[in-house]
Structure 1
Amino acid sequence: MQPYELSLTAAADRIRTRQLSPVELVDSVLDRIERTEPHLRAYVTVTADRARSSARRAEQELSAGRAAGPLPGIPMGLKDMIDVAGVATTGSSRVREGHRADADSTAAARLTAAGAALVGKTHTHEFAYGLTTPQTRNAWDQERVAGGSSGGSAVAVAAGAATFALGTDTGGSIRVPAALNGIVGLKPTYGLVPRHGVTSLSWSLDHVGPLTRTVEDAAAVLAALAGDAPRDPASAPTPSTDRQPDADMDLTGLRVGVPVNYYFDHVDPEVEAAVRRAVDRLAELGAHLVDVEIPMTRYIQAVQWGLMVPEATAYHERTLRSVPERYAADVRILLEAGELMPAGDYLRAQRARTLMRRSWLSTLEEVDVIAAPTVPTTAAKADQPTLTWPDGTVETVSDAYVRLSAPANITGLPALTLPVGHDRAGMPIGMQLMGRPQSEAVLLRAGHAYERTGPPRTLAPVGGTAPDGTAPGGPAAAVDAMTLL
């Protein structure tokens, strides 16, 4: 096994026990980036010198017998919405040409203090305003979308081109690409991870969180990120409970809510079957399954767009008027649409959000976790604009991907996605676990217990030509390499 194939937890353990050098790990990941980038385009920029410097510093601290932090030289990618001093934050947009950040974001500063080594800034759908990240290719099949908006971060982790990465999530932008690329993604409770120094899409919906290979890795990154931050007005106090999942696979007493409406409506049969098998696995581990009805479902899409669109337009007001031609057409249209929304619609969306959050909290008094599909279908073809369901319903790919993710953003509840299998084409399927505010420990415990029942996951089959001559990362290669959990 090459160092780039190691999970965060495994790599950190080997580094602490001097079985692996941080320099070796960073060099291995940088080599992997060089091999995969021509195929995947996960990165806006690669910061090789910076990463090697961080790795050497971690190595020196370890050699001197000093603690090198919980993430000693661990290679990370940061979505290009997250400021790092002296490095561009472009939002994958021509609007930000020539930009350089003056200071680290709180998230970047905390991860650097924990010892992590930045290998690069990852692509996003322009300014995080989309669910496909069109410039980046899916790690399992280059003809399919990466998902978005944190598509570059998800693809980098899935391909071994980063040991972990950070993304942002406004309507599913961590969980959607994580699910479509077969990795773990965590959207924490609103305000738990500071957003100071992170370019905003929609201030009342934005979250920052990790994308990792395993649930245990996600817990380790969250531990380094979470905490009150005075410079973030939405920052939430951090509870004292330990979020690190233990090795106990017994879920006895855990009440898992299984939706009887909404979350299994207009869902691909293979996705539904995989998620229901995963839910049954939780029951085998001791969890008690409870049917739950999701409240206020008819308002979800209207509230999500009613909040996001005007808030995004307000953030981009100046550049939308001065350099509109620098935006991609899909993003510019959405921003211009926001100028036409009446203030009354925005206020009604805020009121509906309050009622929706209250209703969800009431439902979560009956259960500890709600389990559901992360997205209703696996990664779409890159040139596929819409999905048509058996009953004739047509929706855009982006609307389909945001549909099951939006409730956790509207309510601010934590949500974890983890892989639960593949479809017949070899494309990953994700299950989403949602819980009460500040209940990340419960989600991580359940996800970790499930994860430990299956074989170790493989990286996406990227790099070089497959034995049958297909393009790297194509469907045939994916089927050969897939792990059915």
Structure 2
Amino acid sequence: MNKELAEKSIAELATRIENKEISPVDVMQATFAQIEAKNPYLCAYVDTFDTEAKALAIHAEKEILQGNYRGKLHGIPIGVKDNLYMKGKNIRVGSKIHQDFIPSYDATVIQKLRDQGAIFTGLLNMHEYAYGFTTTNPYYGTCRNPWDLERIPGGSSGGSAAAVAADMTIAALGSETGGSLRAPASFNGIVSIKPTYGRVSKHGCFPFAWSLDHVGPMTKTVEDAAILLQAMAGHDPLDTTTASLPVPDYSSYLHKDVADMVIGINEEYLFANADEQVEKSVRHVIHELEKLGAKIVPVQFKTFENALFAFMMTMAAEATALHHENLVKRPEDYGIEVRTELMFGELISAVDYLQAQQIRRTIRDEFEEVFQEVDVIVGPTLPFTAGYIGTDTVMLNGEEVKLPEHVSRFIRPTTLTGIPAMSVPCGLVNGLPVGIQILAGPFMEKKIFQVASTIEALQLMRGLKPTFNSSLTE
């Protein structure tokens, strides 16, 4: 089986499929060969749709040969995080309580991609109820990072990120409430964008915290993220939080010159106490952007010191409100980690929650002011590379620190305010991927794609893939 097909991007495969140089059947067979070889080690999938996906690939091949090509996603294998509803499929949400849950309808994003010919390969492992950053799942297994099997892939979309990085799918869908798209993307050396809140429908995504939840793509390249986001985005009458704004052609902003773009750098918060080598990698990128004509300017945020309080109060209160009944009636059916987090949410007062919303508003207002002066803001996605499985601490500049306290420090303000942000690989530190984060104003994803494609063109990953890939299949 030609495993090189499984290593390709959506864009590369789409051109060859449209020109009838390759068949969706070949791509699907190559993808499932990677799944069969690697999933026993990575535990990225909790369920696969082998027979169904291969039958749909045969159908896609027939459609294309008959001149009915639906677009760039036609015949492309896509993995699905286990919290997105698929009609007739067992969606577990990484939990024991929902272990037998079978939705009667598709999530809006699933239906959109299905209509465009995408073929779903299976359901991807996640942290229980999306409430965590490791994807060490007590019910469906510990997901592992393909760059180092002793390391976490991040969470909660860890299975999605690991599957994309290990070529067990061409792209995947994930969700983010507190960093669950960008953190795994950074740890696994892939691309992911958290769209503006309201850009992509959440209908049919099992909620974590209603006002913080986002659905987004996880891909091998920036171009693929543009293709997939284009397909997913838009107003949905079934989700009243979605915006009615038109969706730009994101791909048209790829490879545009960044000369004269103004890029903001926030030293006090978005670079604070980052690993020295991670920081060095990100500053190298900034220097390269400056050499290409971008203007680099410092930006300050007075409100960020309160972001952690606002984020924790909002997330914990909303999550516990959702789970309150089950938490009271069947607490033992939650894993100890998630049960503890949900019990904390029971202690949050209305005063705490409302104060958090006031802080949230002030942070959003300050972002609005800053984005009147700059096009984007860049910095490290995470303060460090992936930590070890089985511990809640990581080493940061020689000090052992708590993973939950630090992993989303640079991510929280954007999730809290709903503005778009992307993580792009920008090299390796001690053999582990590092991500650079790009932030923009509401619905300004096009600026993110412009900068991200320029960063990707620097080829900072030098074409390197997880060594786990080659060692398994040789």
Same-fold call, TM cutoff 0.5: yes
* Residue pairs, 1:188-203, within 5 angstroms: 188-203=195-210
**Alignment partner of 1:418 is 2:424:** yes
2:12 alignment partner, SS class: helix
Contact 2:276–2:397, Cα closer than 8 Å, also in 1: no
Deviation at 1:238, TM superposition (A): 3.1
* Residue matched to 2:28: 26
* Residue matched to 2:234: 227
* Residue matched to 1:460: 466
* Residue matched to 1:326: 333
Separation (CA, whole Å) in 2 of partners of 1:294 and 1:124 = 33
**Alignment partner of 1:301 is 2:308:** yes
Q: Structure 2 counterpart of 1:180, which letter?
A: F
Over residues 306-334 of structure 1, what are the superposed CA-to-partner deviations in whole Å (9 max), with x where a residue is unaligned?
10001001111222222211111010011
Count of matched residue pairs: 466
**Alignment partner of 1:47 is 2:49:** yes
Separation (CA, whole Å) in 1 of partners of 2:323 and 2:152 = 26
1:429 alignment partner, SS class: strand
Give the unaligned 5+ runs of structure 2. Answer: 137-141
* Residue matched to 1:434: 439
Deviation at 1:381, TM superposition (A): 1.1
Deviation at 1:373, TM superposition (A): 0.3
* Residue matched to 2:167: 160
**Alignment partner of 1:399 is 2:405:** yes
* Residue matched to 1:86: 88
Q: Structure 1 counterpart of 2:419, which letter?
A: L
* Residue matched to 2:139: none
Separation (CA, whole Å) in 1 of partners of 2:256 and 2:234 = 28
Distance change >3 Å, CA 216–CA 355, structure 1 → 2: same
Higher mean C-alpha deviation, range 136-145 or range 376-385:
376-385
* Residue matched to 2:383: 376
Deviation at 1:389, TM superposition (A): 4.6
Deviation at 1:454, TM superposition (A): 1.6
* Residue matched to 1:282: 289
Distance change >3 Å, CA 391–CA 157, structure 1 → 2: closer
Deviation at 1:294, TM superposition (A): 2.7
Separation (CA, whole Å) in 1 of partners of 2:37 and 2:245 = 40
Separation (CA, whole Å) in 2 of partners of 1:172 and 1:412 = 12
Separation (CA, whole Å) in 1 of partners of 2:88 and 2:73 = 22
1:337 alignment partner, SS class: helix
Separation (CA, whole Å) in 2 of partners of 1:117 and 1:51 = 6
Over the residues paired in the alignment, what is the CA RMSD in angstroms? Answer: 1.7
Deviation at 1:398, TM superposition (A): 2.0
Paired-residue identity, %: 37
Separation (CA, whole Å) in 2 of partners of 1:430 and 1:390 = 17
Separation (CA, whole Å) in 2 of partners of 1:11 and 1:17 = 10
Separation (CA, whole Å) in 1 of partners of 2:127 and 2:447 = 31
Contact 1:58–1:68, Cα closer than 8 Å, also in 2: no
Distance change >3 Å, CA 118–CA 388, structure 1 → 2: closer
* Residue pairs, 1:23-422, within 5 angstroms: 23-134=25-136, 135-246=142-253, 248-387=255-394, 389=396, 395-422=401-428
Q: Structure 2 counterpart of 1:451, which letter?
A: E
Deviation at 1:391, TM superposition (A): 8.9
In the alignment, which of 441, 444, 450 is matched to residue 445 of structure 1?
450
Distance change >3 Å, CA 295–CA 110, structure 1 → 2: farther
Separation (CA, whole Å) in 2 of partners of 1:338 and 1:408 = 22
Distance change >3 Å, CA 395–CA 349, structure 1 → 2: farther
* Residue pairs, 1:8-23, within 5 angstroms: 8-23=10-25
Deviation at 1:88, TM superposition (A): 1.2
Separation (CA, whole Å) in 1 of partners of 2:96 and 2:169 = 25
Contact 1:186–1:417, Cα closer than 8 Å, also in 2: yes
Separation (CA, whole Å) in 2 of partners of 1:458 and 1:51 = 29
Give the unaligned 5+ runs of structure 1. Answer: 466-471, 478-485
TM-score (norm 2): 0.95
Contact 2:91–2:100, Cα closer than 8 Å, also in 1: no
Q: Structure 2 counterpart of 1:140, which letter?
A: W
Contact 1:386–1:397, Cα closer than 8 Å, also in 2: yes
Deviation at 1:117, TM superposition (A): 0.6
Distance change >3 Å, CA 197–CA 143, structure 1 → 2: same
Distance change >3 Å, CA 240–CA 116, structure 1 → 2: closer
Separation (CA, whole Å) in 1 of partners of 2:211 and 2:247 = 25
Distance change >3 Å, CA 286–CA 319, structure 1 → 2: same
TM-score (norm 1): 0.93
Deviation at 1:390, TM superposition (A): 5.2
Separation (CA, whole Å) in 2 of partners of 1:378 and 1:86 = 38
Separation (CA, whole Å) in 2 of partners of 1:315 and 1:3 = 42
Distance change >3 Å, CA 119–CA 240, structure 1 → 2: closer
Separation (CA, whole Å) in 1 of partners of 2:463 and 2:245 = 31
Q: Structure 1 counterpart of 2:448, which letter?
A: L
2:426 alignment partner, SS class: strand
Contact 2:10–2:72, Cα closer than 8 Å, also in 1: no
Contact 1:79–1:121, Cα closer than 8 Å, also in 2: yes
Q: Structure 2 counterpart of 1:32, which letter?
A: Q
Over residues 145-203 of structure 1, what are the superposed CA-to-partner deviations in whole Å (9 max), with x where a residue is unaligned?
11011000000000000100011011110000000000001100001100000000000
